[in-house]
Amino acid sequence: MPARAPRAADATLHHKSAPQRALEKLGLLRDIDLALHLPLRYEDETRIVPIAELRDASVAQVEGVVRDCQVRVRARRQLIVRIHDGSGDLVLRFLHFYASTQKALAVGQRVRVRGEARGGMFGLEMVHPSVKRIDVDTPLPSLLTPVYPSSAQLPQAYLRKAVGSALLRADLHELLPESILPPGLMGLRQALNFLHHPDPQTSPAILQDRNHPAWQRLKFEELLAQQLSQLQAKRERALQRAPAFRQISGAKDASLQARLLGALPFTLTAAQQRVLGEISQDLERDVPMHRLLQGDVGSGKTVVAALAAAKAIQSGWQCALMAPTEILAEQHLRKLVAWLSPLGVEVAWLTGSRKGRARNSMLARVASGEAALVVGTHAVIQEQVEFARLGLAIIDEQHRFGVQQRLALRAKLEAQELEPHTLMMSATPIPRTLAMTLFADLDLSTIDALPPGRLPVQTRLFAHTRRDEVIARIRDQVLLGRQVYWVCPLVEESESLDLQNATATHLQLSNALPGHSVGLLHGRMAASEKAAVMARFAGAQAPGRIAVLVATTVIEVGVDVPNASLMVVEHAERFGLSQLHQLRGRIGRGSVASTCVLLFGEALSDAGKARLKAMLDTQDGFEIARRDLEIRGPGEFLGARQSGASLLRFADITLDEAVLHQARRAADRLLDQHPQVAQLHVARWLGSREHFLKA
């Protein structure tokens, strides 16, 4: 029986049927959502083929009258239906069926049947074809039948009806003024009608081609909504007030930034000076900064962050610096304390694992303003933490915070009377198109050169059967007083397998390196244990120093131990490309030549090979990012706004750069000239999902 397609809006008022719930699960709530749910492919039900002309292994539609319908047991119970159309007979075979199926296909019933014809025991047959009961005068559809992406609880027939009626009801009138639309674009209604119900004359190649004008229209619309939503957020923020960090004349800390610069053991690179200039300019304005500082691993973002913090502090404001993991936060802490404590700055330390009295006294000093700099994990933004005068929030590796954490942080910062400036930092260089799509609301600063004197890391590939040779290399390095990372792969399905593997390697290396300390770091350890191991690896020449650190990927980001000169990555083919690049960035930080050994297993996929090859070919983070985008596609690219990226259903930012630029220009003009239309367009396209784009 054909299901009644409900009005989408009814669904919330009454008891929901399984298909209604399934629609909701797919996010198909409003008429417009259904109208924008495009077919995966199409079936041609506009033609009937005479049974006598059916060819083996071809998909076709026939029409006939049931001659015979019986349950038989041949090896297994099945329903055998024989139909006839004047030209010949066809057997329909059902291995799964209900009693009602048998009843529905009574002798004399006229049916339209679509399926693949195959030579069977009794001539041609169709197994589990789709069958429609019809009358003599039931018309043939005149258009191709769409097949939609669906789920098990959502029958195609139901979805088709729901989409079909939503398409009629949905408000698809042209919102965009002609002056905004790029010339030659198809109308929205026309584009959707075409894609849902194409004319049967349309060739399959045209339907597949996402450059068809109908597709171009949808891509433009979608990218426009996305650009509008972000530019709007940016403009709204321009109306907020933030503390302007101007020099307090005569204050004793007035030259904190200059004193820090003077105390550093190195001078800033030109690239660091440039981005510091960009950041400083923002910080002197009374509009909140929202800036993303990107720079390849090891490019020296931390010191730029410290100098920005100094600027806030010397103007009498507090600064919070957050990192996604405790290890990383603690490493920042160590650096910042070393740089800033001698200059009289009090640094507080806040993480989830810090409890009790220590935590309370820390909170009190943050609330009183005594602690000018607060370093920690996302615990820094938890509700109980009150700042006296928070003026700058710095978020390291911001894309590794979860969407919820990022939204919470944003909410917390925006709730302040004067909104703090925000500096986000990322070591994942983002290709330009991706940055434009995902971060249109942010200003971008890029450190595009490494500090001088870095020796390039040599990268070598080894089959894992040569593990012993690799261990011999480790011994050489350790005897020279150098340190080594051994990275074990994360086995997705099983954390305990990870652990077994890492533990076994730890044991093997301990035995192979008598007299040297081998450490183990993995995700199951308590934060304090991890910190203790890291401290022993990072520590100076002390006798207890760890020479070889065996770790699961917890060392992935930010760790800075310049004396480490060799990294071994086991089953490197299992890692993502940017992950490998991040890992390799842990070495080559000191003045000695370093080597990265990528051990690979036997079963190399094409993508795995492509990743390893890219690692051999280049050390340029932007080139790596470009290749990564090619191999993986944008959906997976950034942990960052993953949800935001996957909101793009039609456009593909690796291919649609031209449309993206059109959308960007149109978004600027629309916001200037027709702000209400901009609002309507965003609501039409994004509905309630908009806030994810701002996370």
Q: Which residues bind ligand ADP (CB under 6 A)?
A: 266, 268-269, 272, 295, 297-303, 427, 451, 558, 560, 562, 589
Cα 510 from Cα 505, distance rounded (Å): 8
Token pair 């050489």: residue: 476
Answer whether 515's CB lies under 8 Å from 486's CB: no
Q: Which does 295 bind (CB under 5 to 8 A by kind): Mg ion, ligand ADP, none?
A: ligand ADP
Cα 7 from Cα 229, distance rounded (Å): 28
Q: Report CA-CA distances (Å) from 454 to 243, 449, 651.
A: 38, 11, 40
Q: Which does 451 bind (CB under 5 to 8 A by kind): ligand ADP, Mg ion, none?
A: ligand ADP
Nearest CB to Mg ion, comparing residues 146 and 324: 324
129 binds Mg ion (CB under 5 A): no
In the complex, minimum distance from the CB of residue 183 to Mg ion, in angstroms, rounded to a whole number: 46
Nearest CB to Mg ion, comparing residues 196 and 581: 581
Cα 594 from Cα 484, distance rounded (Å): 10
Q: Give the x-and-dash track for 534-563 against Mg ion (CB under 5 A).
A: ------------------------x-----
431 binds Mg ion (CB under 5 A): no
In the complex, minimum distance from the CB of residue 306 to ligand ADP, in angstroms, rounded to a whole number: 9
In the complex, minimum distance from the CB of residue 427 to Mg ion, in angstroms, rounded to a whole number: 6
How big, in percent rounded to 5, are the helix, strand and coil portions of the chain?
Answer: 45, 20, 40
> Which secondary structure element, helix H or strand E, spans residue 356, and what is its range?
helix 356-368
In the complex, minimum distance from the CB of residue 398 to Mg ion, in angstroms, rounded to a whole number: 11
> Which secondary structure element, helix H or strand E, spans residue 550, and what is its range?
strand 548-551
Nearest CB to ligand ADP, comparing residues 272 and 416: 272
Nearest CB to Mg ion, comparing residues 117 and 328: 328
In the complex, minimum distance from the CB of residue 237 to ligand ADP, in angstroms, rounded to a whole number: 26
Distance, CA of 340 to chain centre: 36
**Residue type at 247 in one-letter notation:** Q
User: Which residue's C-beta sits nearest to ligand ADP?
Assistant: 300
Q: Which does 303 bind (CB under 5 to 8 A by kind): Mg ion, ligand ADP, none?
A: ligand ADP
Cα 341 from Cα 360, distance rounded (Å): 21
Cα 30 from Cα 166, distance rounded (Å): 8
Q: Which does 560 bind (CB under 5 to 8 A by kind): Mg ion, ligand ADP, none?
A: ligand ADP
Q: How far apart are the first and last CA of the chain?
A: 45
Cα 246 from Cα 6, distance rounded (Å): 60
Nearest CB to Mg ion, comparing residues 396 and 441: 396
Q: Which does 420 bind (CB under 5 to 8 A by kind): Mg ion, ligand ADP, none?
A: none
Phi, then psi, of 597 in degrees rounded to 5: -100, 120
Q: Which does 621 bind (CB under 5 to 8 A by kind): ligand ADP, Mg ion, none?
A: none
Nearest CB to Mg ion, comparing residues 519 and 558: 558
Q: Tell me how many residues contact Mg ion (CB under 5 A).
A: 1
Nearest CB to Mg ion, comparing residues 331 and 563: 331
Answer whether 24's CB lies under 8 Å from 33's CB: no
User: Which residue's C-beta sits nearest to Mg ion?
Assistant: 558
Q: Which does 122 bind (CB under 5 to 8 A by kind): Mg ion, ligand ADP, none?
A: none
In the complex, minimum distance from the CB of residue 322 to ligand ADP, in angstroms, rounded to a whole number: 14
**Assigned token pair, 131:** 């069958």
Q: Which does 268 bind (CB under 5 to 8 A by kind): ligand ADP, Mg ion, none?
A: ligand ADP
**Residue type at 232 in one-letter notation:** Q
Nearest CB to ligand ADP, comparing residues 307 and 366: 307
In the complex, minimum distance from the CB of residue 307 to ligand ADP, in angstroms, rounded to a whole number: 11
Cα 576 from Cα 377, distance rounded (Å): 25
In the complex, minimum distance from the CB of residue 396 to Mg ion, in angstroms, rounded to a whole number: 6
In the complex, minimum distance from the CB of residue 559 to ligand ADP, in angstroms, rounded to a whole number: 9
Q: For the purposes of burial, counting CB atoms within 10 Å of the CB of 152, is it exposed (0-12), middle (13-18) or buried (19 or more)?
A: exposed
Tell me how crowded residue 209 is: count the other CB atoms within 10 A of its CB: 11
In the complex, minimum distance from the CB of residue 261 to ligand ADP, in angstroms, rounded to a whole number: 11
Cα 634 from Cα 645, distance rounded (Å): 7
Q: Which does 257 bind (CB under 5 to 8 A by kind): Mg ion, ligand ADP, none?
A: none
In the complex, minimum distance from the CB of residue 300 to ligand ADP, in angstroms, rounded to a whole number: 3
Cα 374 from Cα 635, distance rounded (Å): 34
Nearest CB to Mg ion, comparing residues 283 and 559: 559
In the complex, minimum distance from the CB of residue 451 to Mg ion, in angstroms, rounded to a whole number: 13
Cα 425 from Cα 291, distance rounded (Å): 8
Q: Which does 272 bind (CB under 5 to 8 A by kind): Mg ion, ligand ADP, none?
A: ligand ADP
In the complex, minimum distance from the CB of residue 150 to ligand ADP, in angstroms, rounded to a whole number: 45
Q: Which does 589 bind (CB under 5 to 8 A by kind): Mg ion, ligand ADP, none?
A: ligand ADP
Cα 605 from Cα 608, distance rounded (Å): 5
Tell me how crowded residue 143 is: count the other CB atoms within 10 A of its CB: 16
Strands 458-463 and 595-600: parallel
Nearest CB to ligand ADP, comparing residues 243 and 295: 295
In the complex, minimum distance from the CB of residue 302 to Mg ion, in angstroms, rounded to a whole number: 5
Token pair 């609501």: residue: 683
Phi, then psi, of 595 in degrees rounded to 5: -130, 140
Q: Which does 299 bind (CB under 5 to 8 A by kind): ligand ADP, Mg ion, none?
A: ligand ADP
> Which secondary structure element, helix H or strand E, spans residue 329, and what is its range?
helix 326-340
Nearest CB to Mg ion, comparing residues 115 and 558: 558
Cα 116 from Cα 500, distance rounded (Å): 50
Nearest CB to Mg ion, comparing residues 505 and 582: 582
Nearest CB to ligand ADP, comparing residues 36 and 323: 323
Nearest residue to 572 (alpha-carbon basis) of 586, 558, 584 = 584
Nearest CB to ligand ADP, comparing residues 122 and 266: 266
Cα 226 from Cα 656, distance rounded (Å): 14
Window 214 to 273, contacts with Mg ion (CB under 5 A): none
In the complex, minimum distance from the CB of residue 337 to Mg ion, in angstroms, rounded to a whole number: 16
> Which secondary structure element, helix H or strand E, spans residue 424, and what is its range?
strand 421-426
Cα 178 from Cα 181, distance rounded (Å): 5
Nearest CB to ligand ADP, comparing residues 98 and 266: 266
In the complex, minimum distance from the CB of residue 438 to Mg ion, in angstroms, rounded to a whole number: 20
Q: Which does 442 bind (CB under 5 to 8 A by kind): ligand ADP, Mg ion, none?
A: none
Answer whether 475's CB lies under 8 Å from 513's CB: yes
Token pair 């207890």: residue: 544
Cα 643 from Cα 693, distance rounded (Å): 8
- Point out which residues pair with 486 in neighbouring strands: 550, 568
Window 162 to 181, contacts with Mg ion (CB under 5 A): none
Q: Which does 615 bind (CB under 5 to 8 A by kind): Mg ion, ligand ADP, none?
A: none
Answer whether 339's CB lies under 8 Å from 264's CB: yes
Nearest CB to ligand ADP, comparing residues 232 and 272: 272
Q: Which residues bind Mg ion (CB under 5 A)?
A: 558
